[in-house]
Amino acid sequence: MTVVVTGATGQLGRLIVESLLARGAEPTSIVAAGRQADKLAALAELGVATASIDYSDEASLAAAFAGADTVMLVSGSELGQRVAQHAAVIAAAEVAGVRRIVYTSAPQADTSTLVLAPEHKATEALIRASGLDFTILRNGWYSENYLGMLDQSDASGEIAVSVGDGRVASASRADYADAAAVVLLGEGHGGAVYELSGDVAWNFSDLAAAFSDILGRDIPFRAISTDEHIDEMTAAGLPPEAVQFIAVLDANIRDGVLAETSGDLARLIGRPTTPLLQGLRTARGILVG
Percent of the chain, pLDDT > 90? Answer: 94
Whether residue 289 is predicted with pLDDT greater than 50 in this model: the reply is no
Which residues are CB-contacts of 100 (< 8 A; sequence separation ≥ 6)? 69, 70, 71, 132, 133, 134, 135, 190
Backbone angles phi, psi at 122, to 5 degrees: -65, -40
List of domains in the chain: 3-139 (3.40.50.720), 143-171+198-259+275-289 (3.90.25.10)
Cα 286 to chain centroid, rounded? 22
Query: What pLDDT is recorded for position 288?
Result: 44
The answer to whether 124 and 106 have CB atoms below 8 angstroms apart is no
Q: How far is CA 289 from CA 7, 224, 279, 286, in A?
A: 34, 35, 15, 9
Question: Please, which contacts does 232-241 make with residues 24 or more away whose CB atoms are closer than 8 Å?
Answer: 232/160
- What mean pLDDT do residues 272-283 have? 97
Render pLDDT for 165-218 as a digit per residue (tens, 0 to 9).
999 999 999 999 999 999 999 999 999 999 999 999 999 999 999 999 999 999
Which pLDDT band holds residue 287 (cuts at 50, 70, 90)? Answer: very low
Query: What pLDDT is recorded for position 286?
Result: 62
Query: What pLDDT is recorded for position 187?
Result: 93
Render pLDDT for 24-82 as a digit per residue (tens, 0 to 9).
999 999 999 999 999 999 999 999 999 999 988 999 999 999 999 999 999 987 777 88
Render pLDDT for 193-208 as a digit per residue (tens, 0 to 9).
999 999 999 999 999 9
Q: State how far the Cα of 241 lies from the Cα of 159, in Å rounded to an integer.
A: 21
**Residue 11, SS3 per DSSP:** helix
The answer to whether 260 and 174 have CB atoms below 8 angstroms apart is no
- What mean pLDDT do residues 7-32 have? 97
* pTM confidence score: 0.95
Query: What pLDDT is recorded for position 169?
Result: 98
Query: What pLDDT is recorded for position 56?
Result: 85
